[in-house]
Amino acid sequence: MPSFAAPALASGRRMPNRWDGVAMLLVMGLLIGLVDVGRSTLFTPLASGQAATIHLNPAYLPGYALRTTARMFAALFASLFFTFTFATLAAKSRRAGLILIPILDILQSVPILGFLSFTVVFFLNLFPGRVFGAELACIFAIFTSQAWNMAFSFYQSLTTLPADLVEASKAFRLSAWQKFWRLDVPFAMPGLVWNTMLSMSGGWFFVVASEAITVGNTTFALPGIGSYVALALEQKNLLAIFYAILAMLIVILLYDQLLFRPLVAWSGKFRFETTASTATPDPWMLKLIRQTMLFQTIFDTAGGAIGKIFRLRLGAGASVQVDENRQPSRLIDAIWYAIIAVAACYALFHIISFISGTLEWSDLGEALLMGCYTMIRVTVLMTIAALVWVPIGVWIGLRPKATRVAQPIAQFLAAFPANLLFPPFVVAIVYFHVSPNIWLSPLMLIGTQWYILFNVIAGAAAFPGDMREAVANFRIRGFLRWRRVMIPGILPYFVTGAITASGGAWNASIVAEVASWGKTRLHAQGLGAYIAQATMAGDTPKIVLGVAVMSAFVITTNRILWRPLYAYASRRTTLG
């Protein structure tokens, strides 16, 4: 079983401070800037011959699946590059870290889905009339769903490097480049692989939502599973949707088995522990790689070449002598703060001038009210999910056999793009004429509830054997057992899962509160629907407002509920 690193946003106990405000201004200013660029340039439609036609014939599906997967991996590489550069800069430079980390924190709670149409226009204008621009736009959308938590995880690893290894690297005079590949990256590897896996799941959601996009009067579709589903919805073709779900299942099963299982098992080698832990059996793919001559030769050759690159003595000569008495230069600090302050003021000015002409205070009130509706939805759903999955998860986790079967399934379900499962729900709501306000809600949590389940399973499975024996010995049963033993025991794990689940639910609300089936459109009252409708109407100030309000809601819940709870849980429920 892989280890469950906490999602990157879980740790830290920071309360909101002025840097968060500055970061919020900068991020919003940047997004508005993007909108401005998108609006001020003329939209160039794709040359007619290049726009692809999507076919619902299942024979096309393997090809579509392949293209969708290729986009995913392109975005993943971009995210890795971003992670290695952004997080390294933030960790190595105190001044950069001061502003970059709050920005990252805001970015990961901004629902980028709302900005899809603008980023698309931006990229299309980079490559006028070419499909390449649309491809880039799609990849960028996926990137925005993957990069932040990976960068956060890497940043946290870099700031918790073991001091003795850092000292050894310096004493043996490793260059900056060598240290990066020999110490920084390996140490971050388990957390990074785990977060990459989470990112991959998040990415599927976006790829399905971003392959078919309407800008102005033009709808363009990139060949892929997302466009296939969009067309199937439009044509009310339930069979095609079933095929798409099937294709997706196969794709996820393949990359899970061929890539991530071996990767997670392999990354265990980098886990920083000094004792050999009980060996878990290698996934079959890793066995195949480790024991087959052909694979061995390939990997050894590749490893040798990569090793040569890692050993390059780049960035040598950097001053490594620690001088505890050196005070950071006040002057440079002052200049740096001034630059940030100017940028923030400019962003503020920009935001005000953007919003003031068109928006009233009542719009803010409406957005906040909608936010409260969505908040109620998320809260109710989380409560229901907790009541359902905690007992089930504990039951499974305490039985090793059941855990072995259930755990991979729960993880698999978490990776499945939930928006593919929406159509059957929508059909049912239309058919039974029930209220979309209530019945669209479960869609928000349909994909993310699994995080609660598999984290609870992991927590129960990790429950110490001697404590279980003590519970049995003192005959602690029933409600007392839950209150005093099980719930405190799994609390850190539950909170870890709940943070991921609730964050995902907010983001999903943009697609879950509005659904369509052919010409029928369903929509629930909520902030997600607010943003989705503003997007459809092309009402940019309202999109910006909606997105800002949603970010504020997410950040506030994280700061005043989840982080203190997580800190409390990990302090109180661990010995020592």
Partner 1 sequence: MDQVTNPDAPLISVRNCRQAYHKDASTDLIVLEDVNLTLQSGEIVGLLGRSGSGKSTLLRIVSGLLKPTSGEVKWRGVPLTGPAAGVAMVFQSFALFPWLTVQENVEIGLEAQGVKKAEREERTESAIDLIGLGGYDTAYPKELSGGMRQRVGLARALVVHPDLLLMDEPFSALDVLTAETLRTDLIDLWTDKKLPVKSIMMVTHNIEEAVLMCDRILVFSSNPGRVAQELKVPFAHPRNRFDPAFRQMVDDIYGIMTRRKAPTAQPVTPATGFATKLHPISTNIMAGLLETLEGPPYDGHADLPALAAALQYEADELLPLGEALSMLGFALLEEGDLHITDSGRKFVNAETEERKEIFAKILLAHVPLAAEIRKVLDERWNHRASAVRFRDELEDHMSPEYAEETLRTVISWGRYAELYEYDEEAQQFSLEEDEEEED
Residues that bind partner 1 (CB under 8 A): 162, 164-165, 167-168, 170-175, 178, 182-183, 186, 189, 269-276, 311, 313, 319-325, 572
Backbone angles phi, psi at 44, to 5 degrees: -100, 115
Q: Cβ closer to partner 1: 73 or 310?
A: 310
Q: Cβ closer to partner 1: 164 or 466?
A: 164
Q: Cα–Cα distance between 573 and 490 in angstroms, integer?
A: 9
Helices (H), 398-486: 400-415, 422-432, 436-439, 442-446, 449-461, 465-473, 478-481
Closest CA to 114 of 548, 545, 543, 564: 543
Q: Cβ closer to partner 1: 224 or 262?
A: 262
Q: Cα–Cα distance between 64 and 59 in angstroms, integer?
A: 10
Q: Cα–Cα distance between 328 and 94 in angstroms, integer?
A: 10
Q: Cβ closer to partner 1: 39 or 92?
A: 92
Q: Residue 173: left if φ>0, alpha if ψ -120 to 50, beta else—which one?
A: left
The residues, any chain, with a CB within 8 Å of residue 235's CB and separated by 6 or more, are: 56, 518
Task: Give the chain's length.
Answer: 576
Q: Cβ closer to partner 1: 42 or 318?
A: 318
CB of 265 to partner 1, least distance (A): 14
SS (H, E, C) 558-573: HHHHHHHHHHHHHHHC
CB of 358 to partner 1, least distance (A): 48
CB of 166 to partner 1, least distance (A): 9
Q: Cβ closer to partner 1: 324 or 466?
A: 324
**Residue holding tokens 């359902």?**
388
CB of 165 to partner 1, least distance (A): 6
CB of 150 to partner 1, least distance (A): 19
**Residue holding tokens 């598999």?**
454
- Whole-Å CA distances, 346 to 123, 192, 359, 376, 548: 25, 35, 20, 35, 17
CB of 270 to partner 1, least distance (A): 5
Q: Cβ closer to partner 1: 46 or 320?
A: 320
CB of 168 to partner 1, least distance (A): 4
CB of 278 to partner 1, least distance (A): 12
Distance of CA 504 to the CA centre of its chain: 8
CB of 170 to partner 1, least distance (A): 6
Q: Cβ closer to partner 1: 273 or 466?
A: 273
Q: What is the DSSP string of 11-45?
A: ---PPP-HHHHHHHHHHHHHHHHHHHHHHHSPP-P
Q: Cβ closer to partner 1: 52 or 320?
A: 320
What stretch of H or E contains 448?
none
Q: Cβ closer to partner 1: 176 or 364?
A: 176
CB of 475 to partner 1, least distance (A): 21
Q: Cα–Cα distance between 174 and 165 in angstroms, integer?
A: 11
Closest CA to 119 of 30, 208, 46, 203: 30
